[in-house]
A and B are shown apart, each in its own frame.
Chain A
Amino acid sequence: MPTAAHPAAATAAKASKKTSKSAAKSSKASSDPSTSSTAAKSTNDSIDIKNIPLQISDYLILPVSLPPLSCMTKVAGPDAVYHFLYVRPHEPKVPTPTAERSLFVVNVPIDATEAHFRALFADHLGGGRVESVEFEGRRSESKGNVAPMVAEGGLSVSGKKRKRGGQEDDAALMAMMRDPAAAVDLPDTWDRQLHRSGSSAVVTFVDRASMDLALKAIKKSRKSGQAKIVWGEGVEGTGKVPELGIHRYMAHQMLRYPDPDDIKASVNTFMERFSNMEAARDRMRARLRNQADEDGFVTVTRGGRAGPARQEEALEKLEKQKEKSKGKEDFYRFQLREKRKEKAAEMLRKFDEDKKKIEEMRRKRGKFRPE
């Protein structure tokens, strides 16, 4: 696949050189490295976008240029710096209802948010409307990722928040039994989540058409090589997402120390739920104790009348019992004899070990040479 894509890209690059706009651009790019020494260093990195193949494996390559940053001048000079997204239709192993209108995006920037993708597709790539973005990683599974609203008071649509307040059904209790962590509801300490470098995301569009539109737009923009897509344009600095830098860390400093009352409320909710859960579990166990399965057996469960309250204690007791039943050492002559034998074997083993050690040390020369 890449081999096929490569010549095409090359010809595309040749063709586009003829147009005046891009010729000026490319001449600028080629002259810059020679003039500035810092930029010369980065020639490895600065890439002529025209040379980038259209596709890699079955992913479309989408270069997005990054806005100029004052601190980056030493690294890249006036060259544009690119980030590369790899995009293809989402094909999960286990099909989901939204899969067919979703794109799978690899190599998401660490500071990407849903707003970024919305803007990217709406403003630059055909105007398709994004319904939601699901980022890779646990964080995005359990907690909302578009944060500003979250802080406001749980308006977002993550699963666990919905549970709050409402009468918990058995299914919720069962879920909590499996993983009580899901029920923890402490306030967030960051106003915007970061992603691991190189991670992926699933972008779900409102409908299949929007998705197709987006895919087509990507191809088109690559082929024409004209429109420069700038990452975060119209998102960063417009109040749509929390700011990065010092503001982010100051905000974190505030969020790290929530109001004690908020914490208290959240702990209380959890504890209440937890005790509900425990009660439910005990009920369930009690039920199981009295219920024979279809073969007529009763499953043995914890928490009967006589059993110790905790498993470890039971294990400890068992251990002690074993110790007792062992009998005395050094009582019979054969025990002594065995012991002596063992000792001799042990000494031999140690001697061998020492020899090995020496051998090892000898290999690393200098251990035996006085300094």
Chain B
Amino acid sequence: MASHIPKRRKLDHASSSENETDEESFVDAAKQIPIKTESMQPSSQKHAPQNKNREPTDPAPAFSAEVYKSNLFKLQTDELLAEVRPNFAERLVAVDNALRKIKGIIEEIPDSGPITFSEATTKFQKLDKIQVPFPEPKPQSDPNYKLEYSRPSAINVVGSYVLKTMAKSNSIFTVDVAVVMPSEIFQEKDYLNYRYFHKRAFYLACLAKGLNEAKDCRFSLKFDLLHGNLLQPVLIVESFDGSGDYDFSKSNARIQIIPTIPETTFNKSKTMPEKNSVRPNRDAAQSKASLMEPTPYYNATIRADCSLLSYNKFLHTASAFAESYRDCCILGKIWLRQRGFGGGVHDGGFGSFEWAALSAMLLFGGGPRGRNVLSPGYSSYQLFKAVLQFLATRDLILHPLAFESDLQATKSDSPVIFDGSRGLNILFKMTPSSYQRLRFESQLSIQMLNDSLFDHFESTFILRSNEALQAFDVVARIPITCLPAGTTNLPKEMSSEVQILAARIFNVLRQGLGNRARLVSVSPPALAPWALKSKKPNFSGRLEFEIGLLLDPSNANRTVDQGPPAEEKQEAASFRKFWGPKAELRRFRDGRIIETVIWSTAETGTSVIQQIISWILSRHFGDEVAAQTTLFGDDFKKLYTKFGMGNLDILHSFQSIESAFATLERDVRGIEDLPLHVRQLSGSDAQLRYTSITLPSAESLHLQDRPADVVLQFEGSGRWPDDLVAMQQTKIAFLLKIGESLQALGRGIVVRPGLENELYSKMNSAFLDIFYPNHFKFRLRIHNDREQALLEKQVVDRSLDPRSRDEAVKALSAYKRMFVHSPLHTQTFKSLCTRFPLLGPTIRLVKRWFDAHLLSNHFYPELIELIVARIFLRSYPWQPPSSLTTGFLRTLAFIARWDWRSEPLVVDLSTESTEMTAQDIEAISARFSTWRKLDPAMHRVALFAASNLDLEGIAWSESRPSKVAATRLTALARSACLAVKNAGMHLDPATVFSTSLADYDFVVRLNQRLLKNFRTNKKSSSDFKNIRVQSAENLDLVDCDPVRSFLNELEDCYSNNIVFFNDSNTSSFIAGLWSPSTAPRPWKVGMTYSSQPSCEKDETQIQVNKSGILHEIGRLGGELILDIEARRC
């Protein structure tokens, strides 16, 4: 049975494509195909019952992973569809009315009779003030054919409006109306030499005239190009307030009138892609054969006009055939739109029509031996995913899809989906560049939908992923005015120089950048609709090509490009031709002599990428183009360097502290007379995982530099005391012992034991600072895992008083953070930073941003790191950032979007991608909702950030940040994103880092001079480097930060009533906000803030004594403070 199916199908297709009387036969074919596929393919029947189950009202959780990704995904998709589907009945009634009216008007337009070209032009120009939108090249003054208008043979509404596959969006709907021009006004040979298009333009002008003159309704009319195709002008009908009865301005729609022709007007075989329809000029006396190059674009445009109605029927058939087809079209439309794809030449040439046609084709065929790829029983999600899968896996350039046709692949560099029955390559508007991007995006989306851990609904449909600065590492604009005419010798038939140039730019860039760029996207400029009376605009205005590059960070900064060896003459010549004088012959160490291009290193200020782009642009498009090209890509990197954060190669920048740490570990392990063996010495500091804002430097000691935290764990022993306080004391004894031993090594190591947590005897109470003579400093603490058990016991011990239980809770979470989470976190981020070279720099820049906006005292640095890691590890809808710019801006965008009130942050940090399970995720979200239930006011936990290292989700967000700070973070990120979006390529990154003090209630300005003086005291410390003696006096001052201590004390004293903000990096301000809890209230004894009595309405109340408190702050700060300013009282 199976063997003869394909045969019969093939026969069918052959017969239908042979049949030239199209409309009826197509309907027949469309009717036949579904019947046959159902009867012949058992697989589709098998799917059908499943489909029945999938009613939205059915509560049974029958949607397994095959039909939908997950229940949640299915429900979300349903919601999405409901949300975007416009209310046809309500909102579009007005459009319907208008459509009917327009149809009436058009039918009333009188026939013009044959008219010559010049007559037509002058008549329209003089009498009607309408410029006939003739496409280029305009006909000569007296062509030997006449133009004519006669009543259309049909007027039909087509496209997504009738298919009911429209989707709401921010832009307006377009309702397509096909006006079928009668065949009689065309001659058989009109398909040649633009004759058809000239007649069509005239016809359109007549339609415009008719609508313009209509008495009882007023619309605003404009010409536009269908899909930006210069050959296909169309008429746009919009309505405005006061359009009278037919006002449809409220429906947010516009009507697009497209002149079409019956499918049989021109011989299909004459307009196949491989045929030539633009005959060369007779004057050019060249041999005919060489000039009859195929004109696929021109031909396809004619075929597109012929087949508009036919496609409409085809899509209708498909929607009747497969229940979910419509939804699939909507999903596809949204997916494309979010990625910036559209039917227009300028936005890729793959829009909702192409999606709908492709899915319809795949429903009816497209598979091996003509079998269908999609089953009609698929759910909308399955259809959607299968179409994506098809786009992702099949290379349509190498293996074109021929539907109902036996077209053999012609070698070309553009993708082909050839529809045999309509003779059209539906991808004819795509460029190699846009096709590369389409495949790239669909592959990415397929990866993302195959992710078993997270469902990525948002990344698939909700997020807009084509914001240039977020999507691309390098964005460039090449102004089109500078491109000298005739830089190309490509076939003219494409009729759009813009497109040719786009292709050329793409090829040059792709060749020039090689494997430095993963993706090169070139978007040609688009033309805006123009008024009837004005001439068709051309691209003489300042329109620009937009270039987007995705870099491969491992190759992007390579300075040597090797070409072919000198012996391969031909290749070498073309290499030299491409690079010009930049190419040089070099002999390499291994003896090869190779054509080479050398770029200077990035230190000169411009990155290698930038050098390449400007070089090849000036070589291939002229110096002027190169000079006027604007580029955005390195700007954040420059800022990064300006902040003194070193270069992007963090592994190199942090190498010295790494080796110092190794020395420390050796030294500690080498201590012989310790009663216990060292099990592990682990780093637990940002400096030891490449993420600290300031580089640990070996040059000099900065007094505010903190020693890097390290945690020492001994082998287990039963001899530790069974009491927390005693254990802390024992740890001190160990630290002292270690210090003595290290100092006894006699290598200039200086140690300094210090005290901390003086008020909490259960917490770690001492540490040991270790100074190496090379200026690296570490802060050692001892980890004993018995502490956890003892603390946990105390937390639940009912016999203890509440206060000491509270203290135990606090101590437990501090213990976990310091001794459990931090070392693990450090370990993990160290390896992540090696895996993603840009993770470290991005984290550091984001931390700098937090600091610039006075937020750093509210967030654990680890939390910031987790957020940035999320951008890299769950990067969808993009690939992991491959530049600092994308990393940073995506982080900001994520923060701006993150609805932390109702969403946990979940990051799977594991290097093996399978460490976290769906159960873990579930447990995390359960825990999250428990927290929200327990603490709805978010006093203890505002942000919730879980990872595979911390399933509890609060290690780095417990009680810090407060809700106020988290809200402020979101607001700041939002406004930053808005600023970035508005500035576009003209963004000055420094503006993102400048903060405003306007929102704070008061600002304490710190005495910069004093602090600076205080800091420059360390001059002496650089002196002693020379004499190699570390004097204890100088070391005493290391890690001395009066501002931090001051801030900590303020936070302790006014904990619940003032929120303080400070930038720890420059320490120029402390800003504060009064908490709403300080509102006036009746008298009570246990107030938590300084108050003053106030009498209002004969009743004495108390209110916060703001000036009194500010005075207290002033007294406490003393000389540290320059002045205090109360902004809002």
Contact A371 B464 (CB under 8 A): yes
Distance in Å: Cβ of B73 to nearest Cβ of chain A: 9
Once A3-B1098, A271-B733 are accepted as A-B contacts, the answer to whether A246 and B899 lie under 8 Å apart by CB is: no
CA distance A42 to B1109 in the complex (A): 13
Distance in Å: Cβ of A5 to nearest Cβ of chain B: 8
- Chain A, residues 333-371, CB within 8 Å of chain B (1/0): the string is 000000000000001101100110110111010011111
- List A contacts of B1100 (CB < 8 A): 2, 5-6, 53, 56
Of residues 24 to 52 in A, which have CB atoms within 8 Å of B's CB atoms?
A: 38, 41-42, 44-47, 51-52
Contact A271 B729 (CB under 8 A): yes
Of residues 188 to 229 in A, which have CB atoms within 8 Å of B's CB atoms?
A: 188-190, 194-198, 200
Distance in Å: Cβ of A190 to nearest Cβ of chain B: 8
Contact A71 B755 (CB under 8 A): no
Q: Is B231 an interface residue (CB 8 A)?
A: no
- List A contacts of B1108 (CB < 8 A): 66, 81-84
Q: Is A299 an interface residue (CB 8 A)?
A: no
Distance in Å: Cβ of A267 to nearest Cβ of chain B: 5
Distance in Å: Cβ of A207 to nearest Cβ of chain B: 26
Of residues 327 to 349 in B, which have CB atoms within 8 Å of A's CB atoms?
A: 334, 337-338
Contact B1112 A368 (CB under 8 A): no
Q: Is A186 an interface residue (CB 8 A)?
A: yes
The contact of A57 among B793, B1083, B1088, B1095, by CB within 8 Å, is B1083
Of residues 708 to 749 in B, which have CB atoms within 8 Å of A's CB atoms?
A: 718, 721-726, 728-730, 732-733, 736, 739
Range of interface residues on A (Cβ < 8 Å):
35 or more
Contact A110 B1053 (CB under 8 A): yes
Q: List the count of A-B residue pairs having beta carbons below 8 Å apart.
A: 279
Contact A246 B1124 (CB under 8 A): no
CA distance A165 to B128 in the complex (A): 113
Using CB atoms, name the residue of chain A closest to B79.
Answer: A368
- List A contacts of B1106 (CB < 8 A): 42, 44-45
CA distance A324 to B123 in the complex (A): 101
Once A3-B1098, A198-B1087, A351-B59 are accepted as A-B contacts, the answer to whether A184 and B1118 lie under 8 Å apart by CB is: no
Q: Is A312 an interface residue (CB 8 A)?
A: yes
Contact B80 A368 (CB under 8 A): yes
CA distance A348 to B60 in the complex (A): 7
Interface size, chain B (Cβ < 8 Å): 104
Which of B75, B759, B761, B1107 is most buried by chain A, counting CB atoms within 10 A of its CB?
A: B1107
The contact of A184 among B76, B761, B1036, B1083, by CB within 8 Å, is B761
CA distance A264 to B725 in the complex (A): 16
CA distance A33 to B1106 in the complex (A): 17
The contact of A111 among B59, B1087, B1112, B1122, by CB within 8 Å, is B1112
Using CB atoms, name the residue of chain B closest to A309.
Answer: B718
Contact B736 A260 (CB under 8 A): yes
Contact A188 B758 (CB under 8 A): yes
Using CB atoms, name the residue of chain B closest to A236.
Answer: B1115
Once A257-B1036, A347-B61 are accepted as A-B contacts, the answer to whether A371 and B1110 lie under 8 Å apart by CB is: no
CA distance A244 to B1117 in the complex (A): 7
- List A contacts of B75 (CB < 8 A): 354-355, 358
Contact A370 B337 (CB under 8 A): yes
Contact A370 B1053 (CB under 8 A): no
Contact B726 A274 (CB under 8 A): yes
Choose the segment among A15-23, A125-133, A155-163, A247-255 that binds chain B (4+ C-beta atoms closer than 8 Å).
A247-255
Using CB atoms, name the residue of chain A closest to B1102.
Answer: A56
Distance in Å: Cβ of A318 to nearest Cβ of chain B: 15
Using CB atoms, name the residue of chain B closest to A261.
Answer: B736
Once A42-B1126, A186-B758, A370-B169 are accepted as A-B contacts, the answer to whether A243 and B1118 lie under 8 Å apart by CB is: yes
- List B contacts of A66 (CB < 8 A): 1108, 1111, 1115
Contact A267 B463 (CB under 8 A): no
Once A194-B1053, A263-B732 are accepted as A-B contacts, the answer to whether A244 and B1118 lie under 8 Å apart by CB is: yes
Q: Is B1000 an interface residue (CB 8 A)?
A: no
CA distance A278 to B167 in the complex (A): 77
Contact B1036 A254 (CB under 8 A): yes
Contact A74 B1124 (CB under 8 A): yes
Distance in Å: Cβ of A2 to nearest Cβ of chain B: 4
Contact B732 A267 (CB under 8 A): yes
- List A contacts of B766 (CB < 8 A): 186, 263
Contact B1090 A75 (CB under 8 A): no
Contact B729 A71 (CB under 8 A): no
Using CB atoms, name the residue of chain A closest to B1084.
Answer: A57
Of residues 1086 to 1129 in B, which have CB atoms within 8 Å of A's CB atoms?
A: 1086-1095, 1098-1100, 1102, 1105-1112, 1114-1126, 1129
CA distance A84 to B461 in the complex (A): 60
Q: Is B1055 an interface residue (CB 8 A)?
A: yes
Of residues 263 to 284 in A, which have CB atoms within 8 Å of B's CB atoms?
A: 263-264, 267-268, 270-271, 274, 278
Using CB atoms, name the residue of chain B closest to A258.
Answer: B755
Contact A357 B72 (CB under 8 A): yes
Distance in Å: Cβ of B764 to nearest Cβ of chain A: 12
The contact of B1010 among A71, A246, A252, by CB within 8 Å, is A246
Of residues 912 to 941 in B, which have CB atoms within 8 Å of A's CB atoms?
A: none
Distance in Å: Cβ of A327 to nearest Cβ of chain B: 24
Contact A198 B1089 (CB under 8 A): yes
- List B contacts of A371 (CB < 8 A): 338, 462-464
- List B contacts of A98 (CB < 8 A): none
- List B contacts of A106 (CB < 8 A): 1085, 1087
Contact B1040 A189 (CB under 8 A): no
Once A249-B1046, A256-B754 are accepted as A-B contacts, the answer to whether A370 and B1094 lie under 8 Å apart by CB is: no
Using CB atoms, name the residue of chain B closest to A1.
Answer: B1100
Contact A368 B1102 (CB under 8 A): no
CA distance A45 to B728 in the complex (A): 47
Q: Is A78 an interface residue (CB 8 A)?
A: no
- List A contacts of B733 (CB < 8 A): 264, 267-268, 271
CA distance A126 to B899 in the complex (A): 61
CA distance A169 to B973 in the complex (A): 63
- List A contacts of B1093 (CB < 8 A): 52-53, 56, 61, 84
- List A contacts of B1102 (CB < 8 A): 56
Once A56-B1083, A83-B1108, A350-B71 are accepted as A-B contacts, the answer to whether A74 and B1057 lie under 8 Å apart by CB is: no
The contact of B1126 among A74, A188, A249, A350, by CB within 8 Å, is A74
CA distance A42 to B1099 in the complex (A): 22
Of residues 836 to 862 in B, which have CB atoms within 8 Å of A's CB atoms?
A: none
Contact B722 A263 (CB under 8 A): no
Once A75-B1125, A361-B79 are accepted as A-B contacts, the answer to whether A369 and B462 lie under 8 Å apart by CB is: yes
Using CB atoms, name the residue of chain A closest to B765.
Answer: A186
Q: Is B393 an interface residue (CB 8 A)?
A: no
Q: What are 24 A-B contacts with C-beta separation under 8 Å?
A: A2-B1083, A3-B1098, A46-B1107, A47-B1092, A66-B1111, A73-B1123, A76-B1111, A107-B1090, A184-B761, A186-B766, A189-B758, A197-B1057, A245-B1116, A247-B1118, A249-B1045, A257-B755, A260-B739, A260-B753, A270-B726, A271-B729, A348-B61, A369-B168, A370-B334, A371-B464
Q: A2-B1095, A248-B1116 are in contact. List 9 more A-B contacts (CB 8 A).
A: A66-B1108, A75-B1125, A75-B1126, A76-B1107, A111-B1112, A180-B726, A252-B1045, A258-B753, A361-B79
Please list the residues of chain A having a beta carbon within 8 angstroms of any beta carbon in chain B.
Answer: 2-3, 5-6, 38, 41-42, 44-47, 51-53, 56-57, 61, 66, 69-76, 81-84, 106-107, 109-111, 138-139, 180-181, 183-184, 186-190, 194-198, 200, 232, 236, 243-250, 252-254, 256-258, 260, 263-264, 267-268, 270-271, 274, 278, 309-312, 347-348, 350-351, 354-355, 357-358, 360-362, 364, 367-371
Please list the residues of chain B having a beta carbon within 8 angstroms of any beta carbon in chain A.
Answer: 59, 61, 71-72, 75-76, 79-80, 82-84, 167-169, 334, 337-338, 461-464, 718, 721-726, 728-730, 732-733, 736, 739, 752-756, 758-759, 761-762, 765-766, 769, 789, 793, 899, 902, 1002, 1010, 1014, 1036-1037, 1040, 1042, 1045-1046, 1049, 1052-1055, 1057, 1083, 1085-1095, 1098-1100, 1102, 1105-1112, 1114-1126, 1129
6 interchain residue pairs of minimum CB distance: A245-B1118, A181-B761, A249-B1042, A2-B1100, A351-B61, A45-B1107
